[in-house]
Amino acid sequence: MLVQIQSANPAPSLEHRPSNFHLFDTGFGHHVLMVNGSRIFSIGADVAAQLGSAGDEIGVMQELGIYASPYIDDSVPSNLPVRSLSLAVAQKCNLACTYCYAQQGDFGGAPKEMPVEVADRSVDLLFSDAQAGERVHLSFLGGEPLTSRTVLRRATERAARIAASKRVHVGFSITTNGTLLTPEDGDFFEEHRFAVTVSLDGLETAHNALRPFKGGQPTFQRVLARVEPLLKLQRRMQVSVRATVTPLIRSLPETLNAFVELGFHSVGFSPLLSSSSGADEMTKEELRSMLKGMIACGEEFERRLYSGQRYPFLNMTNALQQLHQGSHRPYPCGAGAGYFGVSASGELFACHRFVEDPGGLLGDVDSGPDRSRQTAWLTERHVHRQEPCQSCWARYLCGGGCHHEVISRGRPACDYIRGWLDYCLQAYMRLLHECPEYFRPCAT
Amino acid sequence: MNDKIEAKNLSAQLQFRALGNPPSTLPNSAISNCCPGLEMDFRNAWKRIFVGIELHESSNFVVKVDPSAPELHELANNYQLMKVQGVPVMATATGPLIPDGPNVPLPDSDGDDALIPLEWSNVLAGVIYNSAGKLVECEFQSMDPPVRNLAFNLRVRNFFENAVIARDLLKPGELTQSLCSPWQNDYRECGCFYWAASRPDYVNVELSEDGNSIGHNWMQRDRTPETAKVYVSDDFLDERLLSYNDLFNGWEKALRFVIGNEDEPPIDGGPKK
């Protein structure tokens, strides 16, 4: 099968006008993403020309039959049930990562461990509104959550017990630096079907420069040695890599390939946009370079898929799923809506990154979300309130960007995000044409 | 211009209106539902959900059996689907027999407890979600005495093909073939006051001081001021009421607007007693 993978556009489109649709081309013709509802159409050349010259004129879209009344308005969801909690079981860490949002694990305060009573009450809150058949999620972050293994295990087992008795589906996940993993942890995670995400910020040189032990020693080989038994063990659990991308990563395709060959279930990249120390943040120039690397990874994903191989490039698989469904959202994530980060002392924050940040304080585990603070948060964070998102064609796919990064540093990555989505749209059309079975539900 | 536009992803397919179709063909701008609806009768989508048999859209009777599956042929003899994977798809109807009365099993026309089919979109949602493409146990019961029970493992068809109803489930035209026909059968049959949004029922009403009332059934042939105001209940036999034939032949003359609770004057040529 010969598919022209190379982008049909000479360069990724970084422009962001008009704001109601985005035209793009592939070897299979002209296409348009209608921003409202994230609807994707293939169109003839004359329709593409008509849209291109009409800008944001609604009348033309109505005439073409692709106008729809708004899927997303300015309203703010209210009284949302708590569906997902991340527990900062340990506000302490054995690493000294240069950029850590948690400021080397303690969030700028004294190192803390979550008391078991707080963990218990957190789990109870998570299930308080859950009905039989519904899903909830419990994750463990820090700091390094494995420095508080006892609390982690107790909270997991309590959640599993309640889930069984209430017939609620519960999912577990942990994000760990990997240095403290043991084979027994692997057994426990396997038993409870954990999604285990290991932070590996590139291959050995880059990773060691960014993620040393507190004493300065390198960690890369230590992490690989600790993770290896879990990679062999994983059946019910999934062991994945999250790589924070800094200028130190030499090649994204090389990094991706190396982790895939090690047997990780999936590998995802995320640029460092906001560093607590200010070090290693990606500049616009570096983000342009990263975009090229991401597209090279995506093209490898396409090549592998055309030849019938699985290639677990998480950014790509997530983007394709969202584009196929037509995902459209007024927020980038569930932070402060159905999802909260619980601090060691039991306060609810908008997410794990906002722990100990008064601006993200939204309640506590005893009283649940403070509804007035939550409404204020969701009102303020709605993508319709963000600039320059109002005039961006990617606003309902991106949701306005990570709240924490945006509040700390603004939006330096908009061109990167649009460039990545533009590539993913093209790849989606190619794959839909050449590998339609990739998008079929696997219930059969 | 629509012929040069093709909906590709799921949200585009769900919202797309084909060339020539009116706005009401989109589910979110239609009144279409299961009862059966003004634009489409969604119940038809479930008729072929199980491979090998076809069910009637408004009941659970087996109306066709695959000729190449002889083991299923007995089902063509007046059998009704009763359970899927042990979950009943029929239920006893209960409710008050008199206003504010207790909920009791409601009788059918024979005086037995009424068994009614549950709405398929709800009762079979779990089956298509969990078991599409798989075999599930289906239990049937003969409606002719003596009662006989049969069970077969039948394969569940995929309901969706991308974002739309799978081709295996519906033939062209079937989604609209059992639509309500409000000016004909359904003004007689539909007692739910759903039409459109509700048809007249009790007209020319006079209230007495003690709270009682007298009036005409809107479906009575003769509703002149001289006609005794006695509500005639429809037993499908009483000739004082309009028949199907009356409606087929001249609904526009037989049915009259009701304005301020009073009938419009009769139109010459309307059905007579």
Predicted confidence (pLDDT) per residue in A60-115, tens digit: 888 888 888 899 999 999 989 999 999 999 999 999 988 887 676 677 778 899 99
pLDDT greater than 50 at residue A1: no
Nearest Cα of chain A lies from the Cα of B155 at a distance, in angstroms, of 11
A51 within domain boundaries:
yes
> Hey, are the CB atoms on B7 and A31 less than 8 Å from each other?
no
Q: What is the pLDDT of residue B273?
A: 46
Q: Give the dihedral sign, CA B106/B109/B110/B116.
A: negative
Structural domain contains residue A260: no
Chain A residues with a Cβ under 8 Å from any Cβ in chain B: 31, 34, 37-44, 46-47, 50, 63-66, 68, 323-326, 328, 428-429, 432, 441, 443-444
Q: Nearest CB to A66: which of B5, B10, B133?
A: B5
Question: What token pair was written down for A349?
Answer: 């924050």
Which residues from A are below 8 Å from B2, CB to CB?
Answer: 64-65
Q: How far apart are CA A259 and CA A198, in angstroms?
A: 11
- Provide the 3-class DSSP secondary structure of residue B266: coil
The reply to whether A42 falls in a domain is yes
Separation in Å, CA A216 to CA A19, A108, A181, A210: 48, 20, 20, 10
| Domain membership of residue A54 as a residue range | 21-27+34-71
Q: Which residues in chain A have their CB less than 8 angstroms from residue B17's CB? A: 65
Look up tokens 């992490």; give the residue: A223
B1 to chain A, any CB pair closer than 8 A? The answer is yes
Per the domain annotation, does A39 fall within a domain? yes
Q: CB neighbours (10 Å) of residue B271?
A: 17
Note the pLDDT of residue B31. Answer: 63
B232, two tokens = 């005639």
Does residue A434 form part of some domain? no
Mutation site, B3, B6, B14, B15, interface A, largest A CB count within 10 A: B15
Which pLDDT belongs to residue A107? 74
> Which stretch of A6-10, A150-154, A359-363, A428-432 has the lowest confidence by average pLDDT?
A6-10
Among the partner residues B5, B10, B17, nearest to A41 by beta-carbon distance: B5
Rounded to an integer, what distance in angstroms lies between the CA atom of residue A213 and that of residue A202? 16
CB-nearest to B2 from A37, A65, A441 is A65
On whether any CB of chain A is under 8 Å from the CB of B15, the answer is yes
| Mean pLDDT of all residues in A38-47 | 95
CB atoms B9 and A325 under 8 Å: yes
Overall domain count for chain A = 1
- Give how far A94 is from chain B: nearest CA, Å: 45
Residue type, A404: H
Which residue type, as a one-letter code, is found at position A21?
F
pLDDT of A14: 45
Q: Which stretches of chain B score pLDDT less than 50? A: 1-2, 197, 273
Task: Report yes or no: B16 at the A interface, CB cutoff 8 Å.
Answer: yes
pLDDT at A320: 98
Predicted confidence (pLDDT) per residue in A308-365, tens digit: 999 999 999 999 999 999 999 999 999 999 999 999 999 999 999 999 999 999 999 9
Cβ B9–A324 below 8 Å, yes or no?
Answer: yes
Residues of B in contact with A319 (CB under 8 A): none
Between β-strands A238-245 and A195-199, what pairing exists: parallel, antiparallel or unpaired? parallel
**Distance between CA B147 and CA B151 in Å, rounded?**
14
Count of alpha carbons within 13 angstroms of residue B104, beta-carbon side: 11
Q: Kindly report, residue by residue over A177-194, the tens digit of the pLDDT.
A: 999 999 999 999 999 999
Tell how far CA B268 is from the center of its chain: 34
Counting every residue written for chain B, the total comes to 273
pLDDT value of residue B34: 54
Indicate whether A217 pLDDT > 50.
yes
Q: Taking residues A365-372, report their average pLDDT.
A: 96
Kindly report, residue by residue over A282-321, the tens digit of the pLDDT: 999 999 999 999 999 999 999 999 999 999 999 999 999 9
Give per-residue pLDDT as tens, A270-282. Answer: 999 888 777 888 9
Task: Tell me if chain A has a CB within 8 Å of the CB of B28.
Answer: no
Does the beta-carbon distance from A47 to B4 stay under 8 Å? yes
Q: Collapsing DSSP states into helix, strand and coil, what is residue A87?
A: strand
> Tens of pLDDT along A108-132?
778 899 999 999 999 999 999 999 9
Two tokens, residue A436: 């339609």
**Of chain B residues 136-195, which have a CB less than 8 A from chain A?**
158, 160
- Quick check: A8 pLDDT over 50? no
HEC states along B103-150? EEECECCCCCECEEECCHHHHCHHHHHHHECCEEEEEEEECCCCCCEE
| Sequence-separated (6 or more) residues with CB below 8 Å from residue A318 | A268
Q: What is the ipTM of this complex?
A: 0.89
- Measured between beta carbons, which residues in chain B are less than 8 angstroms from residue A46? 1, 4
Instruction: Using a CB–CB cutoff of 8 Å, tell me whether B51 touches chain A.
Output: no
Facing B15 at nearest CB: one of A39, A323, A432: A39
Structural domain contains residue A56: yes
Q: What is the pTM of this model?
A: 0.79
Terminal CA-CA length for chain A: 26
Angle made by CA atoms A357, A363, A368, in degrees to the nearest 5:
150
Determine the Cα–Cα distance for residues B116 and B106; give it in Å rounded to an integer: 10
Quote the pLDDT of residue B58: 84
Q: Does A65 reside within a domain?
A: yes
Distance from CA of B6 to the nearest CA of A (A): 5
B143-176, pLDDT tens digit by residue? 888 999 999 999 999 998 877 889 899 988 888 7
Cβ-nearest to A432 among B2, B8, B11: B8
Q: For position B195, what pLDDT does the model report?
A: 54
- The pLDDT tens digits of the residues spanning A133-178 come to 899 999 999 789 999 999 999 999 999 999 999 999 999 999 999 9
Q: Which DSSP state fits B199?
A: -
